[in-house]
């Protein structure tokens, strides 16, 4: 973010003129690198009869599976607090997190889609244990390094992190995401979506989860279901966030349904809605579009604090 700060309004509009360039790059899908994270765990403790997804607020979700506890995009500020989005822009939180930061269980891994204040806020920057493993973009990794976080796993697109804890296995793969139209996104943090493959064989996972990150729907998104078919659950960052009230940088209700048509998840859970005043598309927009598309049976609506329980396939 900081490196782009010198870019003024003129550069923004030059960049907007280039918005079609990015689509030509969509075809090449290289194999990524593999990194590993071995967590201390009891070899016999893991059971995977079910897993849970608890929605805390914004894009903050607590995922539990067979002794593994994963936290996404930690945001624990309260109603009325402000976040900085760069370029002097701020946004006010409209909701409270369902769990206080101090009440979190021990966290094995944080998955951070990008470094923005509403995804890794100042409270978290100050108080999250410096030894917590965090997987994110290269750009966020640099910021995390400056903040003193020691276990950083920096993934480029299609890179993956193989996580083991006792006999529990998880593979996290970085997949395409882009914060806004091509021209606008160069002024915003790089974003990664992620695919979480739970189970001993990541190629035939017991459960496959996709987390969109703050992205719009664009050509590269189509490569995700090509490489990761059979997604069981998609966590969709909605909100229809508007920067300067004009530039859309996250999916609105209509985009969310378009994303479902592309990803074809068995179930989808909308997150990242109604939490900030820059979120201009309320959850009701998505719900209306879902109904119109006949997708009601594929969507699970979680209020803040609610938990969805999923059942992995038996091997």
Q: Which tokens in the block code for residue 206?
A: 């017991």
Helix (H, G, I), strand (E, B) or coil at 202: coil
Pairing of strands 51-57, 307-310: antiparallel
Radius of gyration of the chain (CA): 18
CB–CB of 279/243 below 8 Å?
A: no
Q: Which is nearer to Zn ion, 64 or 242 (CB)?
A: 242
Residue bearing tokens 């997949």: 175
Footprint (CB under 5 A) of Zn ion, residues 129-148: none
Give the nearer residue to Zn ion in terms of CB position, either 124 or 163: 124
Candidate ranges 90-98, 118-126, 152-160, 222-230; the one touching Zn ion (CB under 5 A): 118-126
Between 238 and 299, CB nearer to Zn ion: 238
Task: Name which of residues 189 to 218 contact Zn ion (CB under 5 A).
Answer: 214
- Residue number of the CB closest to Zn ion reads 214
Our finding on whether 289 is near Zn ion (CB under 5 A) is no
Does 252 interact with Zn ion (rule: CB under 5 A)? no
Q: Token pair for residue 199?
A: 């189970």
CB of 272 to Zn ion, least distance (A): 6
Distance between CA atoms of residues 116 and 172, nearest Å: 21
Q: Which is nearer to Zn ion, 68 or 188 (CB)?
A: 188
Max CA pair span of the chain: 60
- Tokens 């997804």, located at residue: 53
Q: Which region, judged by CB under 5 A, interacts with Zn ion, from 96-104, 115-123, 175-183, 251-259?
A: 115-123
Shortest separation between residue 119's beta carbon and Zn ion, angstroms: 6
> How many chain residues touch Zn ion (CB under 5 A)?
2
Distance of alpha carbon 261 from the chain centroid: 19
Considering only residues 117, 118, 197, 285, which one is a binding residue for Zn ion as defined by CB under 5 A? Answer: 118
Residue 118 vs 232, nearer CB to Zn ion: 118
Q: Of the candidates 52, 144, 167, 69, which has an alpha carbon nearest to the alpha carbon of residue 110?
A: 69
Site residues for Zn ion, 32-51, by CB under 5 A, read none
* Rounded Cα–Cα distance for residues 95 and 120 (Å): 16
Interface residues with Zn ion (CB under 5 A) are: 118, 214
């Amino acid at each position: 973010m900081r490196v782009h700060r010198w870019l003024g309004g003129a550069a923004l509009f030059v960049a907007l003129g280039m918005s079609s360039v990015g689509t030509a790059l969509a075809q090449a899908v290289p194999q990524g690198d593999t990194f590993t994270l071995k967590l201390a765990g009891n070899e016999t403790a893991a059971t995977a009869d079910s897993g849970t997804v608890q929605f805390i607020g914004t894009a903050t979700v607590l995922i539990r599976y067979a002794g593994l506890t994963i936290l996404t995009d930690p945001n624990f500020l309260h109603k009325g607090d402000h976040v900085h989005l760069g370029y002097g822009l701020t946004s006010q939180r409209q909701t409270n997190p369902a769990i206080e930061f101090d009440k979190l269980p021990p966290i094995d891994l944080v998955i951070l889609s990008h470094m923005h204040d509403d995804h890794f806020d100042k409270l978290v920057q100050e108080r999250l244990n410096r030894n917590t493993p965090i997987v994110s973009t290269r750009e966020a990794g640099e910021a995390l390094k400056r903040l003193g976080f020691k276990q950083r796993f920096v993934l480029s697109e299609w890179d993956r992190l193989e996580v083991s804890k006792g006999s529990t296995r998880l593979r996290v793969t970085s997949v395409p995401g882009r914060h806004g139209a091509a021209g606008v996104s160069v002024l915003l943090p790089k974003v990664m979506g992620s695919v979480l493959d739970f189970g001993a064989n990541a190629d035939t996972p017991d459960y496959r989860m996709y987390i969109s990150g703050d992205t719009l729907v664009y050509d590269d998104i189509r490569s995700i279901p090509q490489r990761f078919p059979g997604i069981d659950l998609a966590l969709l960052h909605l909100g229809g966030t508007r920067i300067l009230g004009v530039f859309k940088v996250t999916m609105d209700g209509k985009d969310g349904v378009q994303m479902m048509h592309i990803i074809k998840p068995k179930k989808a859970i909308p997150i990242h809605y109604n939490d900030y005043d820059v979120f201009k598309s309320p959850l009701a927009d998505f719900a209306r579009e879902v109904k119109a598309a006949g997708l009601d049976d594929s969507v699970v609506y979680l209020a803040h604090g609610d938990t969805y329980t999923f059942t992995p396939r038996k091997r």
